[in-house]
Amino acid sequence: MDQLKNFTDVKHPVLKRDLTILRETTTLPERFRSAVKRISNVLAVEISKEFDLIEKEIDTPLEKTSGFFLDVDVVLVPVLRAGLGMVSGFLSVLPNAKVGHIGLQRDENTLEPIEYYYKTPKDLNKSKIILLDPMLATGGSSLAAISFLKKKGAKDIVFACLVAAPEGVKLLYKEHPEVKIFGAALDRELNDKGYILPGLGDAGDRTFGTL
């Protein structure tokens, strides 16, 4: 479907194994966090596949050869709280990335996101922004995060999530069609409380053990 074409469903056996760990009710926070980290690693590799390189001559112990350096300033922006769990997996692939933070919380009745924190590096307009949030449900939180980032000058934004619902993907496509979304699963639908089905429950609570 056209409105889902901005979503890349990243496929890998390791992702399927780790998503299963996340989905299972019996998974405790420590195991949940390590699976999030491994999935984030794979997503970071996939997202950076198209990054530009600069070629420079380097010395090996034996002779000179071509070396390659990433030609991109990356800013990771996790949405608090649950996005924090994705940061270390991304940093292990992109260790020079800067990290900004956006604090948003869904109002449980209206499902509208409320902003409680914002801090990002300057010069967002020259950077590749990777927004991190494990769950794309109604899309309200990521829509708000993308709008804040654009107001602060961001021009090149991609969004990395673990699990997305079609409703959220369609909303982001309608409002920000140029923002590509990378995820490990596109699930079926939302329930009447805005939870993704089959999903994995509340990602923040499962990451930090606040159930």
What are the residues binding ligand PRP (CB under 6 A)?
79, 81-82, 104-106, 111, 113, 133-142, 168, 194, 202-204
Q: What is the token pair recorded at 59?
A: 């010395």
Q: Which two tokens stand for residue 173?
A: 């496509």
Question: Cβ of residue 73: shortest distance to ligand URA, in angstroms?
Answer: 30
Which position among 8, 27, 31, 205 bears the catalytic label?
A: 205
140 binds, among ligand PRP, ligand URA, none (CB under 5 to 8 A by kind): ligand PRP
Helix (H) or strand (E) holding 144, with range, is helix 140-151
Options 18, 33, 106, 120, the catalytic residue: 106
φ, ψ for residue 210 (rounded to 5)? -105, 25
Query: Are the C-beta atoms of residues 211 and 29 closer than 8 Å to each other?
Result: no
Residues that bind ligand URA (CB under 6 A): 135, 137, 194-196, 199, 202-204
| 77 and 129 Cβ atoms separated by less than 8 Å | yes
Q: Is 110 part of the annotated catalytic residue set?
A: yes
Active site residue 205: yes
Is 59 among the residues known to form the active site? no
Q: Which residues contact 151 (CB under 8 A, 6 or more apart)?
A: none
- Is 202 an annotated catalytic residue? yes
Given the residues 17, 20, 110, 188, the one annotated as active site: 110
Active site residues: 106, 110, 202, 205
